[in-house]
Amino acid sequence: MVTSPIAPVNDTIPALGKTLRYVEWAILLAFIVTVFLRQNLYDTIFTTTKEYYIAYTYLGICALLSLFFPIARPLWQRRIYIFLEIFCLTIATILTTFELELFLYLLLAKSCFLLRRKEAIFLAIALGLIWHLVRLWSLSKTIERLIENADIYLENLADMPRSILIILSSHIVVYIAVSSFIILVCFLTIAEQKSRQKAIALAREVENLASALERTRIAREIHDSLGHVLTGLNVQLELVQRLQSKDPEKAKQALNTAKNLASQSLTEVRRSVATIRNNNFDLDTALINLVEQFKCDRNFKIDYRINLPQLGLQTSHQLYCIVQEALTNIQKHSHASKITIQTRAIASETILEIIDDGIGFDLEEIRFAARQLFSSGFGLRGIAERAEIIGAKINIETAPNRGTRIQIKIPFTRDSL
What's the pLDDT at 268? Answer: 67
* Alpha carbons 414 and 417: distance in angstroms, whole number: 6
* CATH code for the domain defined by 281-417: 3.30.565.10
Give residue 3's pLDDT: 39
| Residues in Cβ contact with 126 at an 8 Å cutoff, skipping those fewer than 6 apart | none
Taking only Cα atoms into account, the Rg of the chain, rounded to an integer number of angstroms, comes to 41
Q: What gap in Å lies between CA 242 and CA 107, rounded to an integer?
A: 89
Task: Quote the CA–CA distance of 356 and 159 in Å, as a whole number.
Answer: 107
Quote the pLDDT of residue 173.
86
- Residue 356: predicted pLDDT: 92
Residue by residue, pLDDT tens for the chain (417 residues) are 333 433 333 444 556 667 778 888 888 898 888 888 877 776 555 577 888 888 889 888 988 888 888 887 888 988 999 999 999 988 888 888 788 888 888 889 888 888 888 999 998 998 888 888 877 776 666 666 555 555 544 445 556 666 667 777 877 888 888 888 988 988 888 888 888 888 888 888 877 776 676 666 666 666 666 666 677 677 777 777 777 777 777 777 777 777 777 776 776 666 666 655 555 678 888 888 888 877 776 677 889 998 888 888 778 888 888 888 888 888 877 888 899 999 988 878 889 999 999 888 776 665 554 444 444 444 577 788 888 888 898 888 888 888 899 999 998 765 555
So what's the pLDDT on residue 368? 52
- 187 Cβ contact list (under 8 Å, min separation 6): 6, 112, 117
d(CA 210, CA 204): 10
On whether the CB atoms of residues 388 and 395 are closer than 8 A, the answer is no
Do 283 and 308 form a contact (C-beta atoms < 8 A)? yes
8-state DSSP, 347: S
Q: Please name which of 410, 411, 408 lies closest in space to residue 396, comparing C-alpha atoms.
A: 408
Spans of all domains in the chain:
12-206, 281-417
d(CA 206, CA 296): 43
User: What Cα–Cα distance (Å) separates residue 209 from each residue in 203, 206, 212, 216?
Assistant: 10, 5, 5, 10
